[in-house]
Structure 1
């Protein structure tokens, strides 16, 4: 796979690597391989912020090589493409498929775990930002046909919290003269838990005077 990446001293080459690393910690996935070391040896310096995936990957490989070769340089500098100097010794040794001294596949060190954890935290943070909001449809059932549904809806809408916005509603017959309230709400995912909202707000005093039960009828990411 490493052979696919060429001209990594150019913008087009880095764009190719940036795309390949999207959603992954290393070239082959979540585990470092010799492909990573080979490609690392062809990248002249740590890329800028415009290549975020490559930049994070470059730091991870640098940290792994630094832990294997303490006190030695791990970067590779390029001049012009036609007169590129030889890679620094650690990267050259690491790129040799037959080098038995470089144990990239042994037990994970504390530094490896730290780098991986930071990478996963960054990915989780990005996912949270991308997840944004959700649209939720609730089915709220009264105790009986004598329950004042207007007051029930007023009690439901009286619940306020950051990230919660109530939307349209309607009454739907369920039988024996009883109607349930169907109501839409929009939530900010990392601020509102629907299960907690139901268990700790919608089905406890004083709202449980009107509400017998509450279920999630539909849940969609926006």
Structure 2
């Protein structure tokens, strides 16, 4: 059953979440899921220790994201007034399996591991393409949600300009989501930002190495780390 929260930046919203977590370890189910990531991203930072249950839950999810990531699907939590839905939405399981099966079938057919395509293989590929075109179907590529840590050079780095520089990177299949500033120490904060990628179009390593840590973005960005990577 889907869960809905609102006013996550207010005392009333945090109190409601604290009461909700009084008898629960996670937002839904019995393991950490994308529902927890949704609520985690909606908070502006670590909550006050006066919200005992929220603080316990937040520290646990924060540790999971740093150590092993979160793979549970969840049931689809909604945060009113906050919409990183594209970055963390979970499609129906049947659709996911069908898309995965279709991708596997196409990959087996299209990839030649031992050399150039033979005439028979080329003919088969052309026939498949013609059949797809005739049926009006379009191959669907898998997607992934990524939580990224973006670190500035020092405490004098303008974090607003850093975020603008990061979001200025455009690639086919790349969609930026919600973000927040997280204290690191000595007055330095890092940008934690969510993004969705189309797996066939975007490599996160390429995004970091060729776009986020090169000119002109590297005027503000010192380094980037992948905190969580989940297929959706």
Bin of the TM-score, shorter chain as denominator length: 0.3 to 0.5
Which is greater in Rg?
Answer: 1
TM-score scaled to structure 2, two decimals?
0.41
TM-score scaled to structure 1, two decimals?
0.43
Structure with the bigger RCO (C-alpha within 8 Å, sep 6+) is 2
